């Protein structure tokens, strides 16, 4: 496998886009990425589009073809990727594979989603699974994880609320973020209860949006005169789906992280920043441990010491994360990639991590029994 680089990124602001269709949002992100890369649409040799809910919520299939045609791309292989919340990051991995394998020199990955719709709610998705039919929707699952972890470690509701406080502060520095107003611990705890101990401000919002990245070979990167933002590792794993399982530990994340670190030749101690799947406050907390940044049961130390804040030892979700920036399902993984690229280029403005050299992104999606269906981990380096 040869090295592959990201030379252009683009995204839309995340939030409610009631006046736009999926293809509108995808066009905006792709146009921005192509412009950023200095690449003409006709130079793209393969395209990959991540979307999780378009067919269910908008009745639209073949989204890749619709989005890429909007920016003048046709007559190339186009692949539609559905992999739950990992759809966008899986599309990025497919673009990386296409270039790293030597099959193509220039590929485009886009993730796009519209969750605001008049055709039904997102909680109706996945009802083929018995657990969801019985009521184990995502807030309930992560509430159980939180309760289990609280009993195991003694972490408190106040501690978990610090994740929301941190990420809403980071979101206030990000013009692309859905929520840009800081909150306090009391505001988090006193917001409406969703699934005890998770309140509304402990949960990520529904969002619309799109993000895209242009992936190229080193020869193309040199021709374009772009910085070396290398995809050092791009890992996709699925769960073991074994039962019973520890509800507050995801073995598949630990496995994926080990593979990513080994492939990239770095460890957690060398990561400058991490964008992780904080769909609920407990999620980010547990990922401090599954990704190797804290020992089992010691994630609370990072929160209380503000080690994961901007300016801390390892800033997490400086974009605002899913809790503040938003969670447009099929877009989320690529939105994390866009933030990572901006950080490594030094283009993140008020939320810039000082001397960022290694960025980790992590997305997980879907439930199957007590386990998650998929996880992606990407490591980008500024060579």
User: What is the rounded distance in angstroms from the CA atom of residue 336 to the CA atom of residue 161?
Assistant: 22
Give me the residue spans of the domains in the chain: 4-120+207-231, 123-204+233-382
Catalytic residue among 30, 85, 204, 372: 85
CA dihedral sign, ordered 259, 262, 265, 271: positive
Class of domain 4-120+207-231 (CATH, top level): alpha beta
Q: Of 262, 269, 307, whose CA–CA distance to 285 is shortest? A: 307
Q: What is the pLDDT of residue 132?
A: 63
Q: Do domains 4-120+207-231 and 123-204+233-382 have the same CATH topology?
A: yes
The predicted structure's pLDDT at residue 101: 98
Per-residue pLDDT of the chain (383 residues; tens, 9 = 90+): 999 999 999 999 999 999 999 999 999 999 999 999 999 999 999 999 999 988 888 888 899 999 999 999 999 999 999 999 999 999 999 999 999 999 999 999 999 999 887 654 555 565 566 666 666 678 888 999 999 999 999 999 999 999 999 999 999 999 999 999 999 999 999 999 999 999 999 999 989 999 999 999 999 999 999 999 999 999 999 988 887 678 888 999 999 999 999 999 999 999 999 999 999 999 999 999 999 999 999 999 999 999 999 999 999 999 999 999 999 999 999 999 999 999 999 999 999 999 999 999 999 998 887 788 999 999 999 98
Determine whether 85 is an active site residue.
yes
Q: Which two tokens stand for residue 52?
A: 């999780």
pTM over 0.85: yes
CB contact set of 89 (below 8 Å; sequence gap of 6+) = 50, 111, 332, 333, 334, 336, 337, 361, 363, 376, 378
Domain 123-204+233-382 = CATH 2.160.10.10: no
């Amino acid at each position: 496998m040869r090295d592959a680089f990201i030379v252009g990124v683009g995204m839309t602001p995340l939030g409610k886009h009631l006046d736009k269709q999926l293809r509108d949002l995808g066009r905006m992100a792709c146009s921005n990425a192509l412009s950023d890369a200095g690449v003409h649409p006709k130079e793209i040799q393969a395209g990959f589009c991540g979307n999780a809910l378009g067919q269910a919520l908008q009745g639209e299939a073949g989204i890749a073809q619709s989005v890429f045609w909007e920016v003048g791309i046709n007559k190339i292989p186009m692949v539609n990727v559905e992999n739950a919340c990992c759809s966008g990051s899986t599309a990025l991995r497919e673009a990386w594979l296409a270039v790293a394998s030597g099959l193509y020199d220039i590929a485009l990955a886009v993730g796009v989603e519209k969750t605001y719709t008049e055709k039904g709610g997102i909680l109706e998705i996945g009802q083929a699974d018995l657990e969801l039919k019985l009521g184990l929707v995502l807030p309930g699952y992560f509430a159980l994880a939180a309760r289990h972890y609280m009993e195991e470690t003694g972490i408190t509701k106040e501690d978990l609320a610090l994740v929301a406080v941190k990420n809403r502060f980071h979101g206030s520095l990000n013009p692309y973020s859905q929520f840009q107003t800081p909150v306090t611990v009391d505001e988090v705890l006193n917001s409406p209860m969703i699934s005890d101990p998770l309140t509304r401000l402990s949960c990520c919002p529904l969002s619309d949006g799109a993000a895209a990245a242009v992936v190229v070979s080193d020869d193309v990167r040199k021709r374009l005169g772009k910085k070396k933002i290398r995809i050092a590792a791009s890992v996709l794993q699925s769960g073991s789906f074994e039962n019973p399982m520890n509800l507050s530990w995801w073995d598949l994340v630990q496995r994926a992280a080990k593979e990513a670190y080994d492939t990239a030749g770095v460890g957690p101690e060398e990561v400058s920043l991490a964008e992780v799947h904080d769909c609920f406050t407990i999620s980010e907390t547990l990922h401090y441990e599954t990704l190797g940044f804290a020992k089992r049961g010691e994630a609370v130390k990072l929160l209380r010491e503000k080690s994961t804040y901007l300016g801390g030892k390892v800033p997490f979700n400086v974009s605002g994360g899913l809790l503040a920036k938003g969670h447009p399902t099929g877009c989320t993984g690529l939105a994390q990639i866009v933030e990572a690229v901006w950080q490594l280029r030094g283009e993140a403005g008020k939320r810039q991590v000082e001397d960022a050299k290694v960025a980790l992104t992590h997305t997980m999606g879907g439930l199957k029994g007590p386990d998650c269906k998929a996880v992606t981990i990407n490591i980008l380096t500024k060579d």
